[in-house]
Structure 1
Amino acid sequence: MHSLIVLAHPDPASLTHAVAHRIGQAILAAGDDNTVAFADLAAEGFDPRFTGADNALFRQTGPVPADVAAEHARLAAADTLVLVYPLYWWSFPALLKGWIDRVFTQGWAYADGPDGKVEKKLQHLQVHLVGLGGAGQDMIERRGYGAAMKTQIDKGIFDYCGARVLSSTLLLDSDTGGAQAHLQAATAIGTKMAAPTP
């Protein structure tokens, strides 16, 4: 299994980074054939802005921008994509959303057919989502945020491209001392990801 772990947090000392690395360590520990690569979007300076060049690619009138092509190559080498991110306004941070906007392009992640049918091009990709939030589970449930995120992210993005979301985990109460429990959960998440499917 080759996993690409993408994280979008500006502070390398953050709990988000610690969770991502704990997941990676658990994947590696679970099998000699497992490999892990990290895409630290903030540290790498990924530009999330959808520019004229991205619009031209969407319209199939321009080439793939070089930085997008590099991300396509990273994803093509992976069979498992793990997104680890802080919840900002009940969704991805802008940096991660911009990565999705620019990288999951028409013609590469999906193709709109002339008959109106969508060709889902990422059916080989398994996805695991790990969001960290300061709020508690009671607020998530009371306001329907969890269901909204699953609709927007799991279905609206990944299912549209054919990628299978195998797990979607929220590690909550991060602001009130849940860090140690979240690190233990990260190890369990990574171990489960790497377990062979029956």
Structure 2
Amino acid sequence: MNVFIVYAHPSKKSYTYQVLKQLTDALLAEKHHVELSDLYDMNFLPDMTEEEYEREGFSNLSLPISEDVLEEHRKIEKADCLLFLYPVWWSDCPAKLKGWFDRVYSVGYAYGYDENGQPLRRMKTLKLGLVVCTAGHPTAHLTQTGIAQSMRTVMLDDRLGKRFDYKKMVILGGTLALDQVREDHSKQIRELVNELKDHLM
């Protein structure tokens, strides 16, 4: 399976980066092909330009798509699974990843309709859309406060939407007490990678 990981964290000293290494190693051990967009490392520009807004806001498909966005489209088209990995900051993903959706989910590619109401989407439907996020608060706290459900609604129902056959979010919570949760997180990562086998057919 071809797995495209979109990763958003500025520090290679972070726990989220350790999770990236665990995920990547586990996927490679199962003979999956992994392609990575490390948004901070590649200095991905999250802000939409005025010309990009004119293309998006007015569905002006005659305006060009930036080369960095087209490169992300190419990675998506080669993938069977798209996996987003990031830390939870103020109940959402980092701004750089939000900007990835703003720019990469371009009109005519990921969404949109023509003058007759027919879909313009060229983005293929992928087998798997996975979201893995690290959070300081325990997952139980995020669930009790409704934050976990709001994150799932935004990521799975809106941003991933109907572009995937199967969608799942895994919240690796409680990282402020890392020694207490590290083993459980490793187990969740292994289970997630093993779950991919069910979707190879």
Question: Is the TM-score greater than 0.5?
Answer: yes
* 1:165 shift after superposition: 4.3
- Structure 2 gaps, min length 5: none
Confirm or deny that 1:130 pairs with 2:132: yes
**8 Å CA contact retained: 2:108, 2:120:** no
| One of 50, 53, 61 as aligned partner of 2:51 | 53
* 1:188 shift after superposition: 2.7
Q: TM-score, normalised by structure 1?
A: 0.88
Which residue of 1 is the match for residue 38 of structure 2?
A: 40
Q: TM-score, normalised by structure 2?
A: 0.87
2: CA distance between counterparts of 1:125 and 1:164? 5
1: CA distance between counterparts of 2:76 and 2:154? 21
Could you list the per-position Cα deviations for residues 24-66 of structure 1 after superposition, in whole angstroms to 9, with x for gaps in the alignment?
Answer: 22122123xx201111110110010011132133132410011
Which residue of 2 is the match for residue 76 of structure 1?
A: 77
Confirm or deny that 1:148 pairs with 2:150: yes
- Report the RMSD for the aligned CA atoms in angstroms: 2.0
Could you list the per-position Cα deviations for residues 110-135 of structure 1 after superposition, in whole angstroms to 9, with x for gaps in the alignment?
Answer: 22243546555432352110011000
**8 Å CA contact retained: 2:139, 2:173:** yes
Q: 1:109 to 1:134 in 2, by over 3 A?
A: same
Q: Secondary structure at the match of 2:101?
A: helix
Pairing 1:47-196 to 2, within 5 Å after superposition? 47-58=45-56, 59=59, 60-116=61-117, 118=119, 121-160=123-162, 162-177=163-178, 178-196=181-199
Q: Secondary structure at the match of 2:160?
A: helix
Could you list the per-position Cα deviations for residues 143-196 of structure 1 after superposition, in whole angstroms to 9, with x for gaps in the alignment?
Answer: 211111121111111115x22443210000011122343234223322322455
- Structure 1 gaps, min length 5: none
